[in-house]
Structure 1
Amino acid sequence: MNTITWILTGVLAVIFTFSGLAKSTMSRDRLIASGQTGIAPFPMPLVRVVAVLELVAVVGLVAPWLSGTARVLTPLAAVGLGVVLIGASVSHASLREPKATAATVTFLVLCAFVAGSRFAALA
């Protein structure tokens, strides 16, 4: 179970590293052209804040559990990313983008699995 959790954590870390870097450096038009269409309804300052939170959450997903220090931060980071994904899912659904909605819901399930697995290991 620990191996599966680490693999899914790695997948989430890669996805959100790329997403956070893209949202923090690209223009609105370039983001939308690259497939990040869910940002369309939101002002760019909010998109930039979410980008920074995604990058911080990536560190929170990996570093605490790897170091054994403040391990509770790992499942909390997964929960935080889940909240971001709920917003993304709603945004994609409102834009009538079924594939993007399905992808964000899938990532939400991965976050829930990582959070549940790590919370269970803390108990």
Structure 2
Amino acid sequence: MNIALWIVAGLMAATFLASGVQKMVQSRKKLIDGGYGWAEDLSDGSVRAIGLLEVLGAIGLVLPALLDIAPVLVPVAATGLVLLMGGAIVTHLRRKEANAIAVPLTLLVLVAFVAVGRFGLEPFTN
């Protein structure tokens, strides 16, 4: 189970890091033109804040455990990303984009697996 949790956490960290950096460095207009229609409903600052939360969540999924500094932050970061993906799903449903919830729902399930796994099933122990 520990290996599976590390693999999923690593994959999720890479995914959220790439997604977050994209939201932080690209203009909102470029994101909208690239298919991120939800960005129409938000300000530039809000889109960048979402990107920053994704980057911080990505870092939190692996770095505390790798450095053995407050590894309890791993499931906390995963829980934060679960909430973020829940918000993404709600946003798509409000925009009547039910076909767009597959990706955030999949990400939600995967980071929830990390959160549950690291909070209870296979916590980091010293």
What TM-score do the two structures reach when normalised by structure 1? Answer: 0.90
Deviation track 1:60-111 (CA, whole Å, cap 9, x = no partner) reads: 1101111221011000000111111111111111222233212111111111
Partner residue of 1:99? 99
Equivalent pairs counted in the alignment come to: 123
Tell whether the 8 Å contact from 1:20 to 1:50 is kept in structure 2 after alignment: yes
Partner residue of 1:52? 52
Deviation track 1:30-71 (CA, whole Å, cap 9, x = no partner) reads: 112323333221111111112112111111110111122101
How far apart are the structure 2 equivalents of 1:89 and 1:42?
15
How far apart are the structure 2 equivalents of 1:111 and 1:43?
27
Partner residue of 1:11? 11
Query: 1:40 is paired with a residue of what secondary structure?
Result: helix
Structure 1 position 122, deviation (Å): 4.7
Partner residue of 1:111? 111
Alpha-carbon distance change, 2 to 122 in structure 1, aligned in 2, over 3 angstroms:
closer
Alpha-carbon distance change, 33 to 45 in structure 1, aligned in 2, over 3 angstroms:
same
Q: Percent identity?
A: 40
Please list every run of at least 4 consecutive aligned residues from structure 1 whose deviation after the TM superposition is greater than 4 angstroms: none
How far apart are the structure 2 equivalents of 1:24 and 1:74?
23
Structure 1 unaligned residues grouped into runs of 5+: none
Alpha-carbon distance change, 82 to 69 in structure 1, aligned in 2, over 3 angstroms:
same
Structure 2 unaligned residues grouped into runs of 5+: none
Partner residue of 1:37? 37
Q: Give the letter aligned to residue 5 of structure 2.
A: T
How far apart are the structure 2 equivalents of 1:7 and 1:35?
29
How far apart are the structure 2 equivalents of 1:18 and 1:49?
15
How far apart are the structure 1 equivalents of 2:11 and 2:100?
17
